[in-house]
Amino acid sequence: MNLPLTRAQTHRIFLLAMILSGLIAFGATVAWREGLILAALESDSSRLTWLILLIYLLGSVRWLYLAYDISCKRSSLALGEPTRRSEGMDQILLSQESKVEAQAQLDVFADRLSKRNVSGRFLADLLLRLGLLGTIVGFILMLLPIGNIQDFDINLVQQLMIQMSAGMAVALYTTLSGLITSTLMKLQYLLVDDALVDLIHDLQEHVNRCSSP
C-alpha cells in the first residue's frame, strides 16, 4: 500500500528547480565577479553572446513556470485538492465514464503537457547552434583581414594580429556560451520531463483505481 505523499514531496520538482536555479545564479555571480561574463560580452562584436544569454534567461523563466505548474498539479492530485489549473485534469479526476474513455482523456491530457516541453528542447538546440554560428562568424572575422593584405610591414602585422585576436575572441566566447547554456537548458527540461512522467503515472493509477470493479 502506498503511503500518502506530503506537500513537500509533491512539490519536489519545484524545490529541485529552485535549488538548481540557486546553483546557477551562484555560478553566474562568481563568473561576473571574476569578470568572465563582462569580458565575454565586451569581446563579442557579433553580439551573439547577448542573444544566447537572453534566450537562456527566457527559457529558464518558462522552465520555472512549468516546474511550478506540474508540482501544483501533482500536489492537488495527491492531497485531494481542487486543481483550478487544468480543465483536462479535472475532467480526468471527476470522470464517471468507462475506463476506455477515461484513458483517452488521460492520453490527450498527457500529450498536451508533453508538447509544452518541446519548446525547451528546441531552445537547447538553438543555443548550441548559435554558439556554433558564433564560431563561424569569429573565424570569418579572424581571416577576413588577411585577404586585404597587399604588403607586409611591422605596423600592418601588429594591426592584423589585433583584428585576428578579436575574431578569435568572438569564436571562443560564443562557443563557450552556447555550450554552457545549452547543457544547462537540457538538464533543466530533463527535470521537468521526469516530473511530468511522475504526474502521468499518478493519474494513470487514479484512472485504474476508479475504473476497477
Question: Is residue 141, in this structure, part of any structural domain at all?
Answer: no
Question: Is residue 32, in this structure, part of any structural domain at all?
Answer: yes
Q: How confident is the model over 47-57, as a mean pLDDT?
A: 93
In the numeric block, which cell numbers belong to residue 205? 493509477
Supply the range of the domain harboring residue 99: 7-133+179-211
Q: How confident is the model over 73-90, as a mean pLDDT?
A: 63
Question: Is residue 99, in this structure, part of any structural domain at all?
Answer: yes
> Is 138 within 8 Å of 172 (Cβ atoms)?
yes
Q: Rounded distance, CA 30 to CA 37, Å?
A: 9
What's the domain count of the chain?
1
| 104-107 long-range contacts, CB within 8 A, separation 24+ | 106/200, 106/203, 106/204, 106/207
Buried b (16+ CB within 10 A) or exposed e, 70-98: bbbbbbbbbeeeeeeebeebeebbebeee
Question: Is residue 158, in this structure, part of any structural domain at all?
Answer: no
- Range with lowest mean pLDDT among 65-69, 94-98, 165-169: 94-98
> Is 76 within 8 Å of 85 (Cβ atoms)?
yes
Helix ranges restricted to H, 80-153: 87-93, 99-143
Tell whether the model's pLDDT for residue 64 goes beyond 90: yes
> Is 111 within 8 Å of 42 (Cβ atoms)?
no
Question: Is residue 161, in this structure, part of any structural domain at all?
Answer: no
- Range with lowest mean pLDDT among 87-91, 155-159, 201-205: 87-91
pLDDT digits (tens, 9 = 90+) for 26-49: 999 999 999 888 888 888 888 899
The mean predicted confidence, pLDDT, of the chain is: 80
Question: Is residue 39, in this structure, part of any structural domain at all?
Answer: yes
How many other CB atoms sit within 10 Å of the CB of residue 58? 11
Question: Is residue 171, in this structure, part of any structural domain at all?
Answer: no
Q: Which residue has the cell 547543457?
A: 183
User: Does residue 53 or residue 10 have the better pLDDT?
Assistant: 53
Question: Is residue 164, in this structure, part of any structural domain at all?
Answer: no
The Cα-based distances of 87 to 83, 132, 206 in angstroms read 8, 42, 16
When pLDDT is cut at 50, 70 and 90, the band that residue 140 belongs to is confident
